[in-house]
Structure 1
Amino acid sequence: MEMRLEGLSVDLGGRSILRALTLDVPSGQVVGLVGPNGSGKSTALRCVYRALSPSTGRVLVGEADLTAMGLRDAARHVAALTQEGGSDLDFTVEELVALGRAPHLRGNQPLGARERELCHQAMARMEVTHLARRGVLELSGGERQRVLVARALVQEPHVLVLDEPTNHLDVRHQLDLLGLLREVGVSVLVVLHDLNLAAAACDVIGVLSEGSLVAAGPPDKVLTEHTLREVFGVEATVVAHPLTGDPQLLYRLPHFEKGLRWNTHG
């Protein structure tokens, strides 16, 4: 189902954090938000999963105005993996994953056969089935991240939003997760810092700078040397991946000449 961020602005403490952001997330596509620290990426996501109310604008899922829904109804549309998504309570892995069904159940209604099967499939997909009886607080950061993705999948959302989902993951699980985002069949809005991963995983990339959207489109049209210089303040050469054709960024370290070393002896 398509999602549209329409004219989102957020003002906090007298500062404009997000400025009139309009961005479409087409049905079944992966849209990435990139930008320097403090550019408004996480703020935009918080408006989508209802942790923040925008000062102006709205979030539409299909024809429904997400910002006007109750939290329970909104949670049936949107599942979120946030940077603060860990649990302070020592649930077991299977208990935490099962919480993804909470928006669809009433009170203390137990999981039915379908819910249990959804949990089993999600844990298997994220390779955490063997951790089912472990306490969440015992897990490594990467293991916990995969459990939280499984919980989001169990929620059966129309839209999945993820804020830096590759944090704490090793390279293999980073690639597995980003590959999964292209297969889940829902609209995905994801914040990523690694621009090469964003180029490989996303159908569309939106670049934020100081709260404003400065570019949006396919990765090869957006991740240009000019944008990297002007928005991120880095020098890089953009080349095509030899297998996929995706743009890949080759960075140059600032003020570095090959063979030059610091004089550590004064």
Structure 2
Amino acid sequence: MAPTVLSLRDLSVEAAGRALVDRLNIDVAAGSIVGLVGPNGSGKSTALRCVYRALRPTSGAVLLDGTDLTSLKLRDSARSIAALTQESHTELDFTVAEVVALGRAPHARGNQQLTARERELCHRSMDRLDIAHLADRSVLTLSGGERQRVLVARALAQEPRVLVLDEPTNHLDVRHQVELLSFLRSSELTVLTALHDLNLAAQVCDRIAVLGSGCLVSSGAPAEVLTPELVRKVFGVDAMVVPHPRTGIPQLLYDLAAPTPADAPPEGPPS
């Protein structure tokens, strides 16, 4: 069994007297992909913010190799943990290559230039995300999907041990969604990610943690967790779970049934 690299231990976050995350316990093994899924407001992004240290937990801890992250300098934790957040944006008129190179900032000393190895690393990161041809373009001229891939490339250039991704497929077309998730599967990186799409989560994740109202509802392999009963309980929708015809990975088919008479809108006045 691979050693645990990242652990959330009784992690709790409170705001305005309300628990956004409540005693969350999750382990992420080396080289594995763990997905957080749940409805809006279930605490996924809040938990991830504690991991990349944008938020300090009210209680509990995030451990990296058994060490509480709050005991580390921000630069030291940034050398090990890279994040792509929902709030990531690039408003400055930098080129794509310059943005990707910012991934080397936690490793830099002063204003030293990138080494030949670092320049090659940045180029490989851009190539992996299919943006090498955009290297000299201003990020302000890019589409949302192109910017998203630039930010993923920046995170890869950071050479993290743990990659934290909050809805990484946002803005990506189907091709680039598949390419990104396929890359994550083959990268051997340790990944903690929040995903809305349960079918994508089932395909890419080794384990899935289902959150509801800030609490851990269930965790395990996708086939163990993604059941019609759980989907109905947590997400309030009916779904049929079927195996993918080639891979056997569970896939959800949602029931978009017509509203019942009680839910139907009232009829207008007779003509």
**TM-score normalized by the length of structure 2:** 0.93
Correspondence 1:2-81 to 2 at 5 A: 2-81=5-84
Partner of 2:117: 114
The CA distance in 2 between the partners of 1:150 and 1:65, in whole Å, is 27
Partner SS state of residue 148, structure 2: helix
**Residue type at the aligned position of 2:71:** A
Correspondence 1:1-266 to 2 at 5 A: 2-255=5-258
**Residue type at the aligned position of 2:213:** E
Partner SS state of residue 24, structure 1: strand
Partner SS state of residue 183, structure 1: helix
Q: How many angstroms does 1:59 deviate by?
A: 1.0
Structure 1 unpaired stretches of 5+: none
Partner SS state of residue 234, structure 2: helix
Partner SS state of residue 182, structure 1: helix
**Residue type at the aligned position of 2:241:** V
The CA distance in 2 between the partners of 1:148 and 1:16, in whole Å, is 31
**Residue type at the aligned position of 1:164:** E
Q: Deviations over 1:24-69 (max 9, x none)?
A: 0110000000000000000000000000000011111113221221
Partner SS state of residue 167, structure 1: coil
Partner SS state of residue 5, structure 1: strand
Deviates more, 1:225-234 or 1:59-68: 59-68
The CA distance in 2 between the partners of 1:122 and 1:34, in whole Å, is 27
Q: Deviations over 1:223-242 (max 9, x none)?
A: 00000110000001111111
The CA distance in 2 between the partners of 1:127 and 1:135, in whole Å, is 16
**Residue type at the aligned position of 1:134:** R
The CA distance in 2 between the partners of 1:19 and 1:173, in whole Å, is 34
The CA distance in 2 between the partners of 1:159 and 1:61, in whole Å, is 9
**Residue type at the aligned position of 1:68:** S
RMSD: 1.7
Q: Deviations over 1:102-135 (max 9, x none)?
A: 0001121110111101001000111101111111
Q: How many angstroms does 1:256 deviate by?
A: 5.1
Partner SS state of residue 56, structure 2: coil
Moved over 2 A (4+): 254-257, 262-266
**Residue type at the aligned position of 1:255:** A
What is the aligned residue count?
263
Q: How many angstroms does 1:183 deviate by?
A: 1.8
Q: Percent identity?
A: 63
